[in-house]
Chains A and B, each alone.
Chain A
Amino acid sequence: MNGFGWAEIALTLALTVAVAFPLGAYLARVWQGGKTWLDPVLRPLERLVYAGCGIKAARSQGWLGYTGSFLAFSAASFVVLYLMLRFQNLLPLNPQGFAGMSPDLAFNTAVSFISNTNWQAYVPEQTLSTFSQMAGLTSHNFLSAAAGIAIAAAVARAFAADRGEGIGNFWADLTRISLYVLLPISLVIAVAYVGLGEPQSLAAHVTARTLEGGQQTIALYPTASQEAIKQLGTNGGGIFNANSAHPFENPNAWTNLIEIVSMNALSLACVVAFGRIVLARKDARALAAVMVILVAAGAGAIYAAETQAPPALAAAGVDTAVNMEGKEVRFGAPSTAIWTAATTGASDGGVNGMHDSFMPLGGGMALFLIQLGEVLPGGVGSGLYGMVVMALIAVFVAGLMVGRTPEYLGKKVEAREIKFAMLAVLILPLSILGFAAVAAVLPVALKGLANPGAHGLSEILYAYSSASGNNGSAFAGLSANTPWWNITLGIAMLLGRFAYVVPVLAIAGSLAAKPKLAATAGTFPTDGPLFIGLLIGVVLIMGGLQFFPALALGPIVEHFQALQMVAAR
């Protein structure tokens, strides 16, 4: 630990927040269908999409209609993607000549990409054709991100409505967010990446002669374009198995900075846009503050954990103050710490280090940040609506203490909202702990485990947390490409995405229909430090505490065991 490290973490976060505000203002205009400076180019394109797909953009849908559209879109996406992966050998642009995926792997991968998870149970450069990468996965990197942001827009409209019925048009939202936000920004970032040295090529690979005179085949892919949307849309699925630790995906400190900032900026921008649409900018800033404070705390904890001398090494007399195992030398501990907190807090899942090789508490913190519900600042769109669910619960629990039926942003929080909020909150523990508990005693599951003991349990917990939280990062150490893991992790991803979104949209429908109440002196304040503190408490206690027993058996006991082992020696 040193001042430079802390400053790097602080500056990266500050830069992310600084980018999020103007981006949020722009996003709000896109949500409202307002004018943007890209209109001359994109408006005709937008009209073309509407005309071609028969979308009546002006017709606002009720929550059931919106949910139905979202589910139908996702289901159709799944079917198409599944078939594409399964039969990629029959499709064009397969210079490497890869075979089609197995059914369970295709299921897992298709679910993974339509749910914005990007869990990869395969080694991409040894499995995926260029066509599958570009037409299949990259397109869903855009669309699944756009769908998440669309739902955030619907939630924002619900809070803004006064006895309203509609929460927007899903198809129009999907189109506008893809066209006006994701495409242009990705384009700019991709060009920057190319400038900074990332490859962008349709060629299969280059062959290099090594110093020893051997031959090495190096896969290329259109990396820069994929990398841009991978981070911007909190997707995280890498072109290469090593993800952003790979020198093509993340060659230097500059690309590293852009990747970190771009993986949190749009999620935070959703919060800013929410505040603008709901006319509650201060309240939205409070939500953003909770996200930033917790992710900063997570980054700090990881940095602190990773810059302790590993007990076993210290005991062996090795002079090292940093646990460099699993870290890229070109990034070092602070860059890896802030990246790890950002990617696990944000449901991105791209990694620039191997979480499996972190100190127990460092890896445990990454695990915990995912388990907190991917709201820090969470996936694009999903982070916002996840945090709104936590805010509704916080307001309900403590709001009664001001002597009124709790209100949040002018909407009364009543039994119906609480019912759906609790349903949503139940999903993570059910999926994470439920699957993990079964896997932990099932020989067929345990076969994939690389490590015994507490570390092995961490690997199991991490896999299901990552899938259920739609994060997609891997702890590694787990050979997950087996039917058991592919299918259960696929189900976990489905639960984490869809079993969460449906209650959220039900809440939106219920809130939209309610009258919008004006705040009075008796209204529970949801914009100050008091609320920030309360919400942090609720996120930790109601969102995280149920994982404490499981964490105690995983990273926590591993930490104490390491200390004990050294002390015994």
Chain B
Amino acid sequence: MTMTTQPLGDSRRKAAALVSSFSAPMLARAARDALVKLDPRELTGNPVIFATEIVAILATLSTALAIANGGDWGFAVQIAAWLWATVLFANFAESIAEGRGKAAADSLRASRVTTSAKLLTGHAGAIVLTPAHKLGVGDLVLVEAGDVIPADGEIVEGVASVNEAAVTGESAPVIRESGGDRSAVTGGTTVVSDWLKVRITSEAGNTFLDRMIAMVEGADRRKTPNEIALAVLLAGLTLIFLIAVVTLLGLGAYSGVTLSPLVLGALFVCLIPTTIGGLLSAVGIAGMDRLLKVNVLATSGRAVEAAGDCDTLLLDKTGTITFGNRMATEVIPAPGVRAEHAIEAALMASLGDETPEGRSIVELARTLGQAAEAPAGAEIIAFSATTRQSGLTSGPKSWRKGAVDAVLATLGLKAADMPSELAGAVDRIARSGGTPLAVSADGALVGVIHLKDVVKPNVKARFADLRRMGMRTVMITGDNPVTAAAIASEAGVDDFLAEATPEDKLRLIRAEQAKGRLVAMCGDGANDAPALAQSDVGVAMQTGAQAAREAGNMVDLDSDPTKVIEIVETGKQLLITRGALTTFSIANDVAKYFAIIPAIFVAALPALGALNVMGLHSPKSAILSAVIFNALIIVALIPLALRGVKYRAIGAGRLLQRNLLIYGLGGLVAPFAGIKIVDLIVSSLGLA
């Protein structure tokens, strides 16, 4: 399946994704959903917008009354309409965030074809065609080339290439085989070649694909801990402002001010934090959506939030910190041997070697300017466990490379016979965590190759970023402590765990958690499952074992262990966005007070006209402008809520300073200008 237009595909480019999210059909669908959400029962989880809707209803009733009584209703109609608009805009924000997930879910659902499975019954070889949804856990099915795998399962026999595009969006087939960590298959994926016997491990309706659909759709979206706390804060603020507004009835009556319920309702809605209240759930959904865009599926919003909170990242060395293979980085000639000669010998000894190490030696020699090719008819001497060397023989000429002691033995030399410069180099390479290979040409030792576990070029900076944000990185490796230490210091991780067993990993996670830290890790093997389950953020690789995928709370469809860093950054971005919008929303209140308070009092107490610092046109236009601004700001901030506030690894202090300046001070100042502009428009159109 291809999902080029969907977030699940490889549409990582944010611009493209954003355009697709605002496509016309999606906007129409969101608008429709926004109307459906007007049902007050839909809003009970959102106290701010719920309160807004109640006020909108009351405003509508009072407007209707005004019309019936033949009163002046032009102003009332506008206020009521904009109050409804405020609710609709908030609903719209949520719908548009959900819409992207829904679209992705639809295309996933399309891939969940109703297929019939070849059920293997107890009698050898007997096949019964059975509808996929009737399969039970433990059933054995045969899947042949061209068949869709009917449900999640474990391969018990066979090797096949499987196209998993339905789940990962990646169309290049992957090898699946019985035993080991590649034995899990996912329902809905297609066998491209060969055949598999699969034991079904999940009920119909509860397959990986089903859970993915539910997740993407947000069907069982529960509030995360931070969302709950924020909702409590917002509900508390709503109550405080309810008190402030309702008590104005008494205080105003004392002062000879008659306050219409409509105007008090408008004041109330302007003061309560509708901006963050309206965008809160959109921010959460968009956070999960952003993960989806980088091909990571989170099982809950809670997991995404926990990712931002992580203190310790456990990173597998291989694949995350280093390129999986050792690579040649230098050739050290023996004393008295010209460098070119040594490099040529290393090249010749490796030309027949197809291993990644061998290819890396050839590549190094080529970049160093060696163009030699294997002589015609040369015989390739393959590596074997007994000789521990490989090379090329061409007539009288021969080149070998291999473990230092093995090559020396072949040459009839003892370790002590090695020139001291070369012995020193061998020692230095071993201590730095690398592997030395001796090279001989025509029976003479000509030099040593340095094979190195090469650290990926950008990881050091990445880890420095993480450190600046207070996160500790721990490298996990099966290497011995010497090698591990060398790589750890080169990569710039904070700590490492050498000769790590799965139990060690689990112990390390528990120790970190006992210190109150949250731990993130990724893993793919079945033996990673306990650690994945124990960690706060466990990212399982899609290609990994079924047990690992079930234990983790996220699945990386690209199976890229580096992804855990991106996940942490996405979690942080989610929290930052929520905080920024909350701060902005609360800071907005100052300006709204200065717009509305003089307006509602000035008729009875002309002296309070002095508080009209914005110079708004009239009391009515001031109130209307504040209400309009309050509604429009939600729409204006929808893109920010969906995109998220940019995350920068500049340290908590500087990050706070920056965001406080933009969203705190900005939130204080912006509405003064905004309300003034709306007022100019409102008054010039003669609306109030």
Contact = CB atoms under 8 A, between A and B. Distances in A.
Given A418-B232, A553-B601, A553-B605, A400 B579 contact: yes
Contacts of B17: none
A44 interface: no
B247 A425 contact: no
Given A393-B233, A530-B660, A537-B664, A556 B611 contact: yes
Contacts of A460: 254
B590 A545 contact: yes
- Residue among B246, B305, B653 with most chain A CB within 10 A: B653
A514 to B, nearest CB: 8
A402 B251 contact: no
B589 A541 contact: yes
Interface stretch (A63-71, A151-159, A520-528): A520-528
Contact of A422 (B233, B241, B248, B647): B233
B12 interface: no
Interface string A536-569: 0100011001111110110011001101100000
- Per DSSP, chain B at the interface is helix
Contacts of B572: 403-404
Interface stretch (A316-324, A326-334, A348-356, A433-441): A433-441
A426 interface: yes
B304 interface: no
Given A437-B250, A441-B254, A522 B601 contact: no
Interface string B456-492: 0000000000011111100000000000000000000
B226 A397 contact: no
A303 B425 CA distance: 80
Given A415-B225, A515-B516, A457 B589 contact: no
Interface in A44-81: none
A38 interface: no
Given A440-B251, A560-B610, A561-B607, A422 B232 contact: yes
Contact of B247 (A436, A530, A557): A436
B313 to A, nearest CB: 12
A403 B241 contact: no
Interface in B533-562: none
Contacts of A417: 229
Interface string A176-192: 00000000000000000
B659 interface: yes
Contacts of A397: 233, 579, 582-583, 586
A401 B593 contact: no
B240 A541 contact: no
Identify which of B243, B251, B651 gathers the most chain A CB atoms within 10 Å of its CB: B251
A561 B515 CA distance: 62
Interface in B193-251: 225-226, 228-230, 232-233, 235-237, 239-241, 243-251
- Chain A: interface residue count, which band? 35 or more
A396 to B, nearest CB: 6
A304 interface: no
A516 interface: yes
B228 A415 contact: yes
A398 interface: yes
A42 interface: no
Contact of A534 (B230, B245, B660): B660
A429 interface: yes
B608 interface: yes
B656 interface: yes
B114 interface: no
B233 A401 contact: no
B259 to A, nearest CB: 10
A201 interface: no
Contact of B597 (A398, A422, A552): A552
A564 B589 CA distance: 28
A522 B607 CA distance: 50
Contacts of A534: 660, 664
B586 A440 contact: no
A399 interface: yes
Contacts of B250: 436-441
B578 A400 contact: yes
A315 interface: no
A401 B601 contact: no
A35 interface: no
Contacts of B257: 553
A402 to B, nearest CB: 4
Contacts of A405: 225-226, 305, 308-309, 575
Contacts of B253: 440-441
A430 interface: yes
B97 interface: no
Contact of A426 (B230, B236, B245, B469): B236
Nearest to A528: B653
B579 A530 contact: no
A502 B267 CA distance: 32
Nearest to B588: A541
B353 interface: no
A402 B576 contact: yes
A491 B5 CA distance: 64
A517 B225 CA distance: 18
A433 B244 contact: yes
A413 interface: yes
A556 B598 CA distance: 11
A35 B572 CA distance: 46
B669 to A, nearest CB: 13
Contact of B660 (A401, A429, A556): A401
A23 interface: no
A518 interface: yes
Contacts of B230: 396, 400, 418
B467 A521 contact: yes
Interface in A435-483: 436-441, 453-454, 456-457, 460
A563 B233 CA distance: 40
Given A399-B579, A401-B576, A437-B247, A521 B469 contact: yes
Contacts of B655: 401-403
B657 interface: yes
A438 B257 CA distance: 15
A430 B243 contact: yes
B6 interface: no
B86 interface: no
A414 interface: yes
A525 B656 contact: yes
A522 B573 CA distance: 13
Interface in A362-419: 393, 396-405, 413-415, 417-419
B255 interface: yes
Contacts of A440: 250-251, 253-254
B61 interface: no
Interface in B612-644: none
B608 A546 contact: no
B251 A398 contact: no
Contacts of B252: 553
26 contacts: A393-B233, A398-B664, A400-B578, A401-B583, A403-B308, A403-B575, A404-B572, A404-B575, A414-B226, A415-B225, A417-B229, A426-B243, A433-B243, A436-B251, A437-B246, A441-B253, A460-B254, A515-B515, A518-B516, A521-B470, A528-B653, A534-B660, A546-B240, A547-B244, A548-B593, A549-B251
Pick the 10 closest A-B CB pairs, nearest first. A522-B470, A400-B579, A422-B236, A437-B250, A403-B572, A520-B470, A560-B607, A440-B254, A437-B247, A515-B516
